[in-house]
Structure 1
Amino acid sequence: MTTIKDVSDAAGVSQATVSRVINGTSKVSHEKKLKVEKAIRELGYKPNSIAKALASSRTGSIGVIVPELGGAFYSQVLQTIEERLRQLGYHLVVTAGSNTEQGQLDSVEFLLSRRVDALILHTQQLADDYLIALEEQGIVLVLVNRFIPELAHSCIDIDNELGGKLATQHLIEMGHHKIACITGPLHKSDARGRLQGYRKALEEAGIAFDENLVIESGFTEETGAMAMRKLLKREHEFTAIFACNDHMAFGAFEVLQECGLRIPEQISLVGFDDILFARYLTPALTTVNFPIETMSCEAVQLAIQKLHKSKHDVDFKLSPSLVVRESVKSFTPTPITTKELT
């Protein structure tokens, strides 16, 4: 199925420009207009037909895209959205867009072909221009856990930087100065925000940032375990770890146990998200609460209010909070190095 991105690539212009040519919403240079029209003809793109259908009728359904259907985080997102939509008389249509741009583009096209009334998107791979163009076509959309300045009125985001700062500050307050960080994939804005919070907490405490204590990972248990093994091979001492989501913390936890390192007696560990399983680890995981339920409810509220063109009485920026459990202990003066493990 030809998408607006295919047209923009063929014409060598932005997706927003393609949208403007299709809808005539603003002036476009004659040269760009000709390029877009040529690309549309050659690719057989049928512009705006879905958007017109959306504008002219309602189906009582809301489309939701998440990267994957498994895992505690997305399960809670979907469950909360579904429950709230049912209360409001709407039905949920879900598709997993995977963690690729093409997969998420296909998911958008699929949902629009089903003529959903609105889209709630938890996506990081879709380009800003593409999402801006969708809204310019009249498609009601809400972005969760992402912020685009041009779509500020459509974004429900959390303060990831604050969350990263809270986690790191807690470790510093417990006496830790050599703190490692396992980040998520840094092409994602939430991962960058949490890393920035880590760096800001170190800076405010007068602790030098050490790039050797930072490992980029992939927001999964497997990649968290790989990052932990990589960190242990470096000749740099640390007494605590901030893993930028709970899944990576679980992977790191397992590797530390395999290496005979006790949590929190030898290594303190903090996660992020506060998914259900975090409280059932032994010791229970100290983590940052991601307000998943609140974010999901606010996303539904915003989508419905946009559909009915009513006042957007929602909280666009949510604040995380620290959940203190048993995986952090006051610093002891014997930092762990990889030499002790060989």
Structure 2
Amino acid sequence: MAFIEIERLERTIGGLQILKGVDIRLEKGGFLVLVGPSGCGKSTLLNAIAGLQPPTAGDIRIDGQSVLGLHPSKRDIAMVFQSYALYPNMTVAGNIAFPLEMAGVPAAQRAVDVAAVAKTLQIEHLLDRRPGQLSGGQRQRVAMARALVRKPRLFLFDEPLSNLDAKLRVEVRAEIRRLHQATGATIIYVTHDQIEAMTLATQIVVLKDGVVQQAGAPAEIYNAPANMFVADFMGAPAMNMLPGTVGLDGQTLQLEGAEVALPLAVTLEPGRAVTLGLRPEAVSAERAPEGVALELPVEMVEPTGSDVFLGLRLGARLITARLPATAEVGARQAVWLDLSRAVLFDSRSGARIG
């Protein structure tokens, strides 16, 4: 039995169905990231777990117990918000200690617990300051400390890094990952940033229009996306999508500007419309034993420091290749399409084949 069980969960608001039969399982100590575009139902699902928005149908069980009839304060859940939600008139120590005070924990024990969690998050030097004297990253650490000090059975994070600049996002993301590894806490984390999802999660759930598109480990989501939506949404830059038709022999794919062997040990019906998916790193200057060599016009060069991304023209399509930063780039570029790393989709349904 999983520690968190979400079963056929639905949520309708004003006649609009936000969640449409969501099923999720998470083991104790897992780090689940809910990811998807704006409006897909991520925050609605998190609020249903917290008890802030009751579902229309379905069930939520924590450690085998349904929590649908429990008040949010009785669910033993701590939530970290995007807006920090700190009390401006209290010191950092006061903010962290507040939930313990509300729970009736004696002052001496509160002081011990606050000192311990402040040390874990490296904010001991901030305990006498007020939130207005802190940076965004420091305030987020305080919000995390206030949640952590309660030792709840489940942590919920609602886009906690979206208000931070790029450098702080990396720093606090590392802090959250370290916190999870050190405490073994069970975490459900909402974000629209697929980089956060890939770097933090032990399990990712991709949502679209209130429906789970795929659930699995980060490597599975990235390398074997269940459909074209997941393939396009997860990864930066996005996966290259090359539409084509199956050849007369059922084992080759006719692309615009190239013919390649199907990346599957099966024979498909001739003329079937399929789409070949290739991550940018599978389009490179390195020879691929199971690949095809092409020389294509270069239309875009995007250096990123350690790598350079090229926009290459293949028929009517612009595909992205990933090369080392030291690569010499001219008007045309010789690349290999590594078919051993390709994914094949049905063009009509969008579902992965095989």
Q: Same fold (TM over 0.5)?
A: no
Structure of greater Rg? 2
The normalised TM-score by structure 2 is 0.30
Q: Which has the higher helix share?
A: 1
The normalised TM-score by structure 1 is 0.31
